[in-house]
Structures are given as structure tokens and as C-alpha cells.
Amino acid sequence: MKKSVCFIAVMMLFCFTATAFAQSSFTVVTVQSKKLKPYQEALKGFRTRCDARVKNLYLADSSYEKVLEKIQRIQPDMVLAVGNEALTAVKSINRIPVVYLMVLNPEKVLDNQKNITGVSMNISPKQQLSTLLTTLPDKKKIGVIYDPSRTGAFIKKAVTAAGSLKADLVLREVRNPTDVPSALMDLKGNIDVLWMIPDITVVNKMSVEFMMLYCLEHSIPVVSFSEKYVHSGAVVSIGIDAFDIGRQAGEMALAVLSEGAGRPQVAHARTAVISVNAQIARKAAVSINKHVAQNLGVRIDQATMGRARIVD
């Protein structure tokens, strides 16, 4: 019996060691525009899931052409593009797999390349709405100002999600930034909360300042998409978790590398082809301005409060 237990233990140790060795035998070149804090957080998360040898290249140090030349000399097993600029720089690579992360709307950069996949910064409307409703359990009538030409597709998905979540979206369309104040005033008395989405027609310096002041004066809590607006008066932000996006991309990269290891001919093909599907961010990060919430008398879900980043 003891011999059997020892044998099993030795085999498990061997398998673990062999897996770790195989994983760390891969070389990954990361390309990023600069050392931004969110990028570094994402890379920390990546390394918790993908224990490959990593070589870093920065676009700030070289032109796109020089970066591509360096990648060619290194001949890595995979390229990790961090951010939109990095993805733009390496999208012409086709002989090796490319995984991206911290990219907003990657479909606007890519053209159906078969060797590129990754994790975008996009969070599904349903997840955002679900997080909003959990964080602010008393708020069911949610106002949104948007430009149909920019975020119409997002709003269609949000309307469907709201129906399944028993929430009511109160929508106002604008075509020009100058239309935002009147749209906001038209929402007064019809909503419990204003949901500010990343629509560049709506969100600009002047309109955001007006929205924050108007909503504070009329006790309308604002939920934004970025923590910077929590510092400006929003009660809550629902944004990306850079560390978890990194972990998600690390899991994807490991699957891509393992797939390539199982089919070594891919590395020598004219074009690498991978079957790991692109994903959106699976987790939202919540920030809360406790001071503004108290001033407006907004009840925050205590479980969410315990997990959120608190901004005073």
C-alpha cells in the first residue's frame, strides 16, 4: 500500500514538473506603447496564469518597423500586444500567434486575422447593468444619454439586458454635444440614476462638468465607466479589472501555446492559425465615492462596498 502511495506521489510530482517545464519553455514577446500602470497590472495578472519566458518591447523606444525586426530576430512562440497601439503595430504578423489585451474595440483594428485573438476591455452591457443594479439596489429607472451613430449597438444590447434584469432604461438620443444639457434636463423626474456610457458625443469636458453639477444639484446619482469620474462626483464607476484581464489573457495564451505545441507544423506555416476565440472582459471593477453617496442619501449594497475601491 505504501509503495503504491509513493508511486502515485512521484508520478504526480513528475507530471507537475513536466507541465511547468513545458510551460516555461515558451518565449513570449510583449509589445506595449509605454509602462502605464494599468498595463503593468495586466501583465502581473498574465504572469500568474502563463509562466513563459517574457521579453518586453516598448513602442516608445522604437518605430513599428524596428519592433517587428526585433520580434523576427527573437522568433518567439507568441506575441502579446498590450493596448490598441501595440495591436496596431503587430497586426501584420502572421507566422506566429498574437494575443492581445487591454484593447478597446479590437474589431476596429483587426481585419479577421486567423492568428490573432485576445481579451478586449469591453464589458458586456448585461454585466454592467447587473453590477449597477446590485451596487445600487434601490435604483431601477436608469437614464442613458447616447448618440445612436456611436453607441446604438451597445444600447440595443443594453435594452435586451434590462428586460431580463427587470430594470427600466430611459433613453434620450443626441446627435451633437450641445444637445446633452437639454436631454439631461428632460430626464429629470423620470430616472433614479444616470448611467454615463463611453460615448464621445456625450462625454466631453464641458458636458461632463454640466452633468456632474446638474445631477448633484438635483440628487441624481451618476454611474460612470471610469474611476476618474468618481473623483469628479459620480457615485459609482463600473470599469475593467486590469489584473483579471491579464489573468484571462494568460489562460488564453497558455491554451494557444499548448495548441501550437501539439501541432508543431503551425510554427513553420506561412500563416499561423489558432482556434482560441476572442473574449471580452469577464470581471468588472467597482469604485465608489462614499462621500457623494452619503450626501445624496444613496444606499450602497454592503457586499459590493466590501469588494469595491472606496474613493473619498
Does residue 169 have a pLDDT over 90?
yes
Same domain, 94 and 156: no
Same domain, 175 and 218: yes
Q: What pLDDT, on a 0 to 100 scale, did the predictor assign at position 34?
A: 86
The number of domains in the chain is 2
Distance, in Å, from the CA atom of 116 to the CA atom of 33, rounded to the nearest integer, reads 18
Average pLDDT for residues 66-85, to the nearest whole number? 95
Give the pLDDT band (50/70/90) at residue 261.
low
Same domain, 14 and 148: no
Does residue 252 have a pLDDT over 60?
yes
Same domain, 301 and 183: yes
Structural domain for 274, as ranges: 2-121+242-282
Same domain, 131 and 89: no
Same domain, 28 and 40: yes
CA 302 to chain centre: 25
- Least confident residue range of 57-61, 87-91, 158-162, 234-238: 57-61
Q: What sign does the CA torsion over 199, 201, 205, 206 have?
A: negative
Same domain, 12 and 102: yes
Q: What pLDDT, on a 0 to 100 scale, did the predictor assign at position 267?
A: 44
Give the pLDDT band (50/70/90) at residue 10.
very low
Average pLDDT score, the chain: 89
Give the pLDDT band (50/70/90) at residue 312.
confident
Give the pLDDT band (50/70/90) at residue 270.
low
Q: What pLDDT, on a 0 to 100 scale, did the predictor assign at position 271?
A: 75
Average pLDDT for residues 276-285, to the nearest whole number? 94
Does residue 238 have a pLDDT over 80?
yes
More confident residue, 93 or 25: 93
Same domain, 137 and 228: yes
Q: What pLDDT, on a 0 to 100 scale, did the predictor assign at position 15?
A: 47
Q: What is the CATH number of the domain that holds 165?
A: 3.40.50.2300
Same domain, 149 and 38: no
Same domain, 212 and 293: yes
Residues 173-218 have pLDDT tens digits of: 999 999 999 999 999 999 999 999 999 999 998 899 999 999 999 9
Does residue 290 have a pLDDT over 50?
yes
Same domain, 7 and 107: yes
Same domain, 166 and 234: yes
